Amino acid sequence: MSPAKDPNAKLIAKIDELKSAVEYYQNYVEATNTLLGRIAFPTDEPLGKIITDHKPEPDSYVKAYNLCDGNHTQSTIASECKIDQGQFSRVTSNWADIGIIYEIEKPKGKFYKNLRKIEYAKEPKKPKKSTTGQVTPPSTPLVEASGAPKEAEHK
């Protein structure tokens, strides 16, 4: 049957047009969410604290949050991060309620999208201690930007 004679041809064309519009605007929605996430959480620390608070394996949850990229299902993320499926379901529900991830419906199922990837360590790195027990200050260059040796500072 030719498209001109098919009674559903106009309807199918309209559905295809709407699908294209949804895909087009979905990119804007994701960009807006990412921008708002960066405004609300300008550094990784507050977002990292929310993600890792009271978690037995904080690094697993940071990895799980970063895998919420709109391409991994909840069960895939849970198994890859070795988190109990039921526990991770409650966590993603909590994260969605807080607003640090949002749900995306795709033909293959439910996916989650984070605000942005983070790098977060629950314990901040401590300064190195020398063998004498004193904190070693960060190294400073011994050469000026011009290439000339720096003058030693006397205290």
Mean pLDDT of the chain: 80
First to last CA, the chain: 93
Give the mean pLDDT of 72-83.
94
Express as a percent the part of the chain with pLDDT over 70: 75
- Residues with Cβ within 8 Å of 117's Cβ and at least 6 positions away in sequence, in order, are 66, 69
83 vs 25, which has greater pLDDT?
A: 83
- Residues with Cβ within 8 Å of 141's Cβ and at least 6 positions away in sequence, in order, are 150
Alpha helices in the chain (DSSP H): 9-40, 44-52, 58-67, 74-80, 85-98
- Beta bridge partners of residue 106, listed in sequence order: 109
Q: If you classify domain 9-114 with CATH, what class do you get?
A: mainly alpha
- Residues with Cβ within 8 Å of 80's Cβ and at least 6 positions away in sequence, in order, are 63, 64, 67, 72
Q: What residue has token string 């394996």?
A: 57
Give the mean pLDDT of 4-11.
80
pLDDT, position 79: 95
**pTM of the predicted model over 0.85:** no
The 10s digit of each residue's pLDDT in 82-122 is 999 999 999 999 999 989 999 888 888 889 999 989 987 65
Low-confidence winner among 5-19, 82-96, 97-111, 123-137 (lowest mean pLDDT) = 123-137
Three-state DSSP class for 97? helix
pLDDT, position 75: 93
Express as a percent the part of the chain with pLDDT over 90: 34
Query: If pLDDT is split at 50, 70 and 90, which confidence band does 151 have?
Result: low
pLDDT, position 20: 86
The 10s digit of each residue's pLDDT in 39-61 is 888 888 889 999 999 898 999 99
